[in-house]
Amino acid sequence: MANSRTAVLRIAVLCIAAAACGGAQHASRVPGPGAVAGLVRAATTGLGVTGAYVVLRRPGSLEPVQGVSDRGGAYYIAGLPPGSYTVTAYVEQTPIGEQTVQIVHDRITALDFAVGAGPGTPIDLNAPSMAPLWRYRPPGADQGTGMIEGTVADNRHERLVGAVISVIRDGEVGAEQTFTDEQGRFQVAGLSPGSYSVSAYYAVLTRAQMEVRRNRVHVGGGEVVVVPLWLETDTW
């Protein structure tokens, strides 16, 4: 009798465990589509460009996907199956920039575009390089101070959230610090005109810690300097 009760209990335990496993598998979430987002802005003022078309083309797909920038120059295109896409921005039917990006599940891949840089001084905010930085002067800006803004991304064009940004004036020790937001963006305002170093520090769990720095970033009064920072995450 004891043996039969033990057997029944074992069967009951196995049934409960199986049901729990089945329920856990049923409750597991299916990965969602990806998205691309960013800003289209004028190179001289930094103001958003309304009505710019951002067109995504995927190899093997006949129909492109497109979005339009809003009054602030922001665009957002969601529901994208993972894969490689060519992203082109147009203003009044003129292409102003093109990038190839990798869209992944449940991630927003960010791409920004600048309009009116001139043929001799192209601005590419989405390519890791030490090219001249983008500088613009917003209308009505305080001429006594400047600002540094930018983004932190990895080499797959994925913006990094929560990176620690440090801005240090040359010859000084104290740093102005902030964090990148959910779009991987940062902004440090109220800077006295002068030369600065800008660095980003990023840690992933406890596996790796990376830092990137850009030196001799000159900020003038009433000027905004855009500093894109990149981390080679493939080496982690």
Q: Which among 108, 126, 144 is the end of a domain?
A: 126
* Residue 173 and residue 197 in contact, taking contact as beta carbons nearer than 8 Å: no
Q: Determine the pLDDT at residue 231.
A: 80
Residue 236 confidence class, pLDDT cut points 50, 70, 90: very low
pLDDT tens by residue, 60-78:
877 899 999 999 899 999 9
Domain total for the chain?
A: 2
* Residue 229 and residue 200 in contact, taking contact as beta carbons nearer than 8 Å: yes
Q: Is the pLDDT of residue 5 over 80?
A: no
Q: Is the pLDDT of residue 208 over 70?
A: no
The domain that holds 223 is classified in CATH as: 2.60.130.10
71 and 161, same domain (yes or no): no
Strand stretches in the chain, DSSP E: 34-42, 53-57, 65-68, 74-80, 83-91, 94-103, 108-110, 113-115, 134-136, 146-154, 164-169, 175-179, 185-191, 194-204, 208-219, 224-231
Residue 167 confidence class, pLDDT cut points 50, 70, 90: very high
Q: Determine the pLDDT at residue 20.
A: 47
Q: Determine the pLDDT at residue 196.
A: 97
- The one-letter code for the residue type at 28 is S
Residue 180 confidence class, pLDDT cut points 50, 70, 90: very high
Residue 14 domain-assigned? Answer: no
Residue 175: alpha-carbon gap to chain centroid: 23
Rounded CA-CA distance 191/226 in Å is: 14
Q: How many CA atoms lie within 13 A of 5 on its CB side?
A: 2
Residue range of the domain that includes 147: 128-236
The domain that holds 64 is classified in CATH as: 2.60.40.10
159 and 173, same domain (yes or no): yes
Q: Determine the pLDDT at residue 15.
A: 43
